[in-house]
Every structure is written in C-alpha cells, then in structure tokens.
Amino acid sequence: MVGIFSLATGIPGPSGFGSASTAEQVTHGIDASHLTAIVTGGASGIGLETARVLALQKVHVVIAARNMEAATEAKQLILQGDENARVDVLKLDLCSMKSIKGFVDNFNALNLPLNLLINNAGIMFCPYQLSEDGIEVQFATNHIGHFLLTNLLLDKMKSTAKDTGIEGRIVNLSSVAHLHTYKEGIRFDMINDQASYSDKKAYEGANITVNSVHPGLIMTNLMRHSMFLMRILRMFTYILWKSVPQGAATTCYVALHPTLKGITGKYFLDCNEFEPSPFAKDEIMAKKLWAFSQKLVDSASKP
C-alpha cells in the first residue's frame, strides 16, 4: 500500500513505481503494437499524455473528444513526436447520450478491434446544471456517459478478446475524492436536486479486466471551475502535486503493464494498489447504482 509519505517522496511501492514515475517510464520496453485503444478526453491534459504514450508504445489510439479542433491538434502533436503513430480522432460529448451512440456507430464503422477503453474524460467542481438529457451534469458526464459508452462498446471488446486471445482492459479514472462523498454515499433520490447540490461531493464473464485509478493532483483544465482555489491550495501542498507525465503514469501502467494480467476490480494510486472507500466496496450500493444508471439511460432513450 502507498501513503502520504510515499506520495510526497516519490519512493516506489511494491510495483517498483511511485508518484514520481512518468507514463513513459512505467511503459518502457512494452510492445503494444497489437492493441487498439479508445481514450476519452484525449485532447488535453493527462488524457493527451495517455494517448501520446500509448501511441509511443505502438498502440492504435482513437482520441474521443468533444472539441474536435483540440483533438486534431493533439493528433498532430503526437505525430510530430512519432510520424508512424497510429491516431484517429472521433467526436464524443459524454454529456449527450445521442453523441455517445453516434460515437459508437462511427467507431464501429472503422472496423477496428478494441482492446483498451480508457475512461479518462471528466468535469469537476462545476456549477449546478442539467445535461440535455435532464441529468445533473457532473453525474451525467463522469458516470452516466461512461456507463453508457462502456456498455455499448462491451460486445466489441468481448469479441476482440475472444478472436485474439488477448485480455481486454477497461481503465476508469476516478479520484481520491471518492473518500469524501455525501454521508450516505450516492443520493439516488436527489441526483438532480439543486438545493442540496455540492459541487465537490458530487464529483466522484469475458476476458476483460476493469480497474479504477486516481491520477493524483495535477493542474489541468479539469480545474477550470475552481482554478483560483486550486492555485492557493497548491501553494500549501505543492509537494503532493504531480506533472502531467506523472499524472498519466497510473493510467498507462494499469492499461499496459504485463504484471496486471488478470487483475480486476482494484483501485490504483501511484501505480500501486490502494484501498478504496467502504462505499466503493459496497456490493449492494454497486448493484443499486447499476440498476439506477440503466433506468436513467433507458428513460432518456425513450422517444
């Protein structure tokens, strides 16, 4: 297990990596030329670094992003570093179920396999608002959007794993903030309740593994709704903050490292397994969340 001391010092944990490790370091020497990955939010921040490093290890990367101009610039940046990199860009707005379904149709039209799904995109600490589907926007983007996307891509991942014999991996970016939620965990009956909304607390059978990671504290566009507050916080906690290459390390480690073959249902911090909150291990709440999410998706899909 890792703790504040190892986070602050960068001392490696049991995996041989720690908070100071970069995405390139944790994937060094790995040949992933046989893999195809989708990276949501791959146009900026740690999503872009994840896409770049995966491409560097010869993964065929599909950048899924809302801002196509930024996604195209990200692709060009990756190609400048490696002209042989395989990178595609497709539009995806995780706040819109219509956009998610359109993205999946467009991806399937490429006739590519799918080995890795990196659910990286997210928003954080934003003012209260509803998505076009009538769902509180942080919950819609960070959870429901990726819930629907993953379910729509699951058959493709299953068939790829079956046809190739290669383990598929789903990596969900989370946050250590999941340790500080509403006291009851998820307020299922108040998801869209503006009066009780807290921008801080609202954040949060096949040969396929699914793991969650916390990238660490990184100053990226994710902080845009609380940039002033984050800059002040960083002044007093600077030793705990990471660079973007360090922030993408855990994602790339969990996505590509061979030592994690067959490891599933875990939570990783600084490239090492970490104990999640009791709510994260609550099977009853997990089942309730799944049913609740499916009901929301089904109701929003009705004409």
CB burial of 259-278 (b: ≥16 within 10 Å; e: otherwise) equals ebeeeeebbbbbbbbbebbe
pLDDT at 127: 75
pLDDT at 8: 60
pLDDT at 9: 64
d(CA 172, CA 170): 7
**120 φ, ψ (degrees, to nearest 5):** -100, -35
pLDDT at 152: 96
**Active site members:** 197
Residues 6+ apart with CB under 8 A from 195: none
pLDDT at 225: 46
pLDDT at 164: 95
Structure tokens at 234: 């960083």
* pLDDT, tens digit only, all 303 positions of the chain: 445 556 566 789 999 999 999 999 999 999 999 999 999 999 999 999 999 999 999 999 999 999 999 999 999 999 999 999 999 999 999 999 999 999 999 999 999 999 999 999 987 666 788 889 888 888 888 889 999 999 999 999 999 999 999 999 999 998 654 444 545 555 545 554 455 434 434 334 579 999 999 988 775 555 444 555 555 655 545 556 688 999 999 999 999 999 999 999 999 999 999 988 777 778 888 888 889 889 889 888 776
pLDDT at 303: 61
Number of alpha carbons in the 13 Å side-chain half-sphere of residue 284: 3
Residue 65 near residue 39 (C-beta atoms within 8 A): no
d(CA 155, CA 166): 15
Residues 6+ apart with CB under 8 A from 162: 206, 207
Residues 6+ apart with CB under 8 A from 254: 169, 171, 211, 213, 260, 268, 271
d(CA 86, CA 30): 16
pLDDT at 296: 85
pLDDT at 198: 43
Q: What are the structural domain ranges in the chain? A: 4-298
pLDDT at 1: 42
* Correct CATH for 4-298 of 3.30.70.890, 3.30.2350.10, 2.40.50.100, 3.40.50.720: 3.40.50.720
d(CA 57, CA 46): 16
